[in-house]
């Protein structure tokens, strides 16, 4: 999922960096952490003035689930109900909200609207297990 988000962000013009999880030596199965930056696209901007930066965090991992756990449908198959609601593991916590930042950038591009701020995204895949490795990355490590 991290690679999917990276690919999408790059297609939208972000500069992306996959950082190894700082705890990789202790557990070589830990997924990388994605840092993506979208620069503002304000025509005629005065770059002598500071540019506002918005930083958004999202996690792209989910807890394991089986249909027998009480799901009406397979939990890892996204289903749209007749009312237009989406059901699936991670649809609201947190893949949907995390990826909504990319949808917002995509909408700006499709509508020809400049991004008014620098947008920095931090996506990780270990939130459901205590965000192993995220604090050192946030601290600049």
Q: Just list the catalytic residues.
A: 61, 127
55's enclosing H/E stretch is strand 53-59
Give burial (CB, 10 Å; 0-12/13-18/19+) of 134: buried
User: H-type helices in 1-141, by residue range?
Assistant: 2-11, 95-111, 134-138
Q: Find out whether 95 and 62 touch, Cβ atoms under 8 Å.
A: yes
């Amino acid at each position: 999922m991290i690679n999917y988000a990276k690919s999408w962000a790059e297609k939208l013009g972000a500069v992306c960096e996959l950082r190894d999880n700082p705890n990789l030596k202790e557990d070589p199965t830990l997924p990388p952490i994605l840092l993506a930056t979208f620069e503002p696209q304000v025509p005629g901007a005065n770059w002598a003035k500071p540019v506002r930066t918005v930083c958004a965090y999202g996690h792209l991992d989910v807890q394991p689930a089986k249909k027998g756990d009480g799901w009406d449908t397979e939990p890892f198959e996204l289903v749209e109900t007749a009312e237009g609601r989406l059901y699936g593991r991670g649809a609201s916590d947190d893949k949907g909200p995390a990826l909504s930042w990319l949808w917002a950038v995509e909408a700006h591009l499709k509508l020809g609207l400049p991004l008014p701020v620098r947008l920095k995204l931090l996506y990780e895949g270990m939130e459901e297990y205590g965000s192993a490795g995220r604090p050192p990355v946030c601290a600049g490590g």
